[in-house]
Amino acid sequence: MNTSKTKDKYKIAVIPGDGIGNEVMEAAIYVLNALNINFDYVYGEAGDECLEKNGTALPDETLDIIRNSDACLFGAAGETAADVIVKIRQEMKMFANLRPVKSYPNTNSLSDNIDFMIVRENTEGLYIAGEESYTDEGAVARRIITREAEKRIIEYAFKYAKENNKSKVTGVHKANVLKKSDGLFKDVFYEVAKRYPEIATEDYYVDATAMYLITKPESFDVIVTTNLFGDILSDEGAGLVGGLGLIPSANIGEDAALFEPVHGSAPDIAGQGKANPIAMMLSAIMMLRYLGENEAANRFDGAILKVLNEADILTGDLGGSATTMELAEEVKNNL
């Protein structure tokens, strides 16, 4: 799913988006530029401000920029998030959403030993545009689960586990109630699992998983699930390790990848230099790994870890008083 070798120069689509997206993007690129990797940044517009300015939240020009890039960094979208991120995922066939959940020092983490990946199917389920409509009685949404898409995402989860020295994959569903759609997911999960005998497997109902994330979060390595369940569990996972300001994400397809924090545009603090850029930085680190630049990714990640360990320069949400760029400067100094 990622590039097989590093390149002399990377073309990176950069879409700051709305609100604090501009600030956290500036901070992440400030550190990326100190890694001595040749990045060619091509900026595109998307989001609420773009809609007001251009009459569309996601111009074709921006899609073309993403299409012609090695990877995309995205900041944040406001009210138009569904019209932007969901459409990009669909247009670029980004079938896998990766949400790492990892505890860092000096944060409000429930435990010091949390480190798992949620692999979420991105293309079907309840989040397909046009599959929701009004009726005389109210409204109806159609949930679509296909063997092809679920096999692809489950296969991705097992390959991720194998390549990243993870020992277990947990399939999450609600097959006791959704007997046909989630029953299919469960069947495919164990069909794929047979090809990875070295990896332990288990499956839980989604409601039980929500409880186990609180009671035994250290027991998870890789979770794979459908679109809606993955969305909800990912935000619960963020709560385990200190909030959305520390959670990156990746959207991966066969030929395209987009990396973004999941904290939203936070218009209440936009433009004030208060935003925590760590989730955006961690998203950039995921991009580096996708590009095969693992040494640079390790340096970047190590610098963030050192800053959090020392706890001298932190933003307000982490108990400090530093600005967005002051934290970025501290991370850069610790590379």
Note the pLDDT of residue 4. Answer: 46
**Tokens found for residue 117:** 């990946």
CA–CA gap between residue 173 and residue 176 (Å, rounded): 9
Model confidence at 261: pLDDT above 50: yes
CA–CA gap between residue 246 and residue 239 (Å, rounded): 10
Q: Please state whether the predicted TM-score (pTM) of the whole model is above 0.85.
A: yes
Read off the pLDDT of each residue in 1-20 and give the average, rounded to a whole number: 82
- Tell me which residues are annotated as active site: 127, 174, 207, 231, 235
1-95+247-335 and 110-240 share one CATH topology?
A: yes
CA–CA gap between residue 64 and residue 66 (Å, rounded): 5
What SS3 class is residue 230? helix
Extents of the domains making up the chain:
1-95+247-335, 110-240
- Contact partners, residue 166, CB within 8 Å, separation at least 6: 117, 160, 199, 221, 222
Read off the pLDDT of each residue in 170-191 and give the average, rounded to a whole number: 98
pLDDT digits (tens, 9 = 90+) for 270-294: 999 999 999 999 999 999 999 999 9
Please provide the DSSP assignment of 203-223 as one string: EEEHHHHHHHHHH-GGG-SEE
pLDDT digits (tens, 9 = 90+) for 317-326: 999 999 999 9
Read off the pLDDT of each residue in 14-19 and give the average, rounded to a whole number: 96
CATH topology (fold) of 1-95+247-335: Isopropylmalate Dehydrogenase (3.40.718)
User: What is the chain's Cα-based Rg?
Assistant: 20
Is 200 in contact with 162 (CB distance < 8 Å)? no
pLDDT digits (tens, 9 = 90+) for 77-99: 999 988 999 899 989 999 999 99
Model confidence at 3: pLDDT above 50: no
CA–CA gap between residue 253 and residue 122 (Å, rounded): 10
CA–CA gap between residue 307 and residue 326 (Å, rounded): 11
Length of the chain measured in residues: 335
pLDDT digits (tens, 9 = 90+) for 103-141: 999 888 988 999 999 999 999 998 876 688 999 999 999
Read off the pLDDT of each residue in 16-35 and give the average, rounded to a whole number: 97
- Please give the single-letter amino acid code of residue 95: F
- Residue 250: pLDDT band (50, 70, 90) is very high
Read off the pLDDT of each residue in 251-276 and give the average, rounded to a whole number: 94
- Residue 151: pLDDT band (50, 70, 90) is very high
- Contact partners, residue 271, CB within 8 Å, separation at least 6: 23
Average pLDDT, the chain: 94
Per mean pLDDT, which range of 114-118, 179-183, 263-267, 297-301 is the poorest? 263-267
Model confidence at 201: pLDDT above 90: yes
Among 47, 35, 37, smallest CA distance to 10 is for 37
Among 331, 326, 291, 294, smallest CA distance to 309 is for 331
Token pair 């040749």 is found at: 38
CA–CA gap between residue 330 and residue 151 (Å, rounded): 43
110-240 CATH: 3.40.718.10
